[in-house]
Amino acid sequence: MIVKEEGIIAGIEIAKKVFDKFDPELKMTVFINDGAHVKPGDIAFEVEGRVRSLLQTERVMLNIMQRMSGIATVTAKYQERLEGLKTKVLDTRKTTPGLRMLEKEAVKIGGGCNHRIGLFDMILIKDNHVDFAGGIKEAIASAKRYCKETGRDLKIEIEVRNTDEINQALEAGVDRIMLDNFTPERTREAVALINGRVEIESSGGITIDTLRAYGECGVDYISVGALTHSVKGLDMSFKAC
């Protein structure tokens, strides 16, 4: 496995599983582990075994590793922009169908944090939920009632659009407030208003160029869909030697 582009490598452990699942007699020797910074010419691992098995597993393994390494590389760049701040980069559920677990693992390898795996591990009340429920307080009360009735202990996060909704969310009681499509100036005002009472997440159109400005406002998290929904794979090749 020859690296052809600088970045963060990810998917080594998954490659092991691909080879072992297809042909347990394939022997893999690893030289570089997940999360390492790599450059063109680096050899990540070697695999020995039946030629047919090597050729049949090549594309599956490469597709996974290139995709995961691309995500890990981009995530590392985003998190690097926040160096010295408490803010962490979060992924979203904007993932490739069937590859969510691999893509979210790649985010972690790149130094980011996973938001939610699905709809089962945290309640996120979005603007549509608020509107259909009849308001902020009604939506939060409904979520709390659901948790009590089903015996679930889930954190509740709510998306807000203005100062009034922030105040309503704080009064109703939640674990995290998402500031959706706020400017850095409005974010700074919101952070001062919340004053550490709950976790704060910024979201909506934040790019690598604007990331630092939001982090400097004092938010705990910044969620970035671009970590997974539009990433270029890291270039690498699987060659005979």
Positions marked catalytic = 59, 94, 126, 159, 180
CA distances from 91 to 18, 43, 95, 234 (A): 25, 29, 9, 19
Beta carbons within 8 Å of 125's beta carbon, 6+ residues apart:
133, 139, 140, 143, 156, 157, 158, 159
Q: b vs e for 61-71, b when ≥16 Cβ sit within 10 Å of the residue's Cβ?
A: bbebbbbbbbb
By the 10 Å C-beta count (0-12 exposed, 13-18 middle, 19+ buried), 178 is classed as buried
Task: List the structure tokens of 208.
Answer: 């690598």
Question: Which SS3 state, helix, strand or coil, does residue 2 take?
Answer: strand
- The pairing of strands 88-90 and 123-125 is unpaired
Pair 3, 72: CB distance under 8 Å: no
Beta partners for 238? none
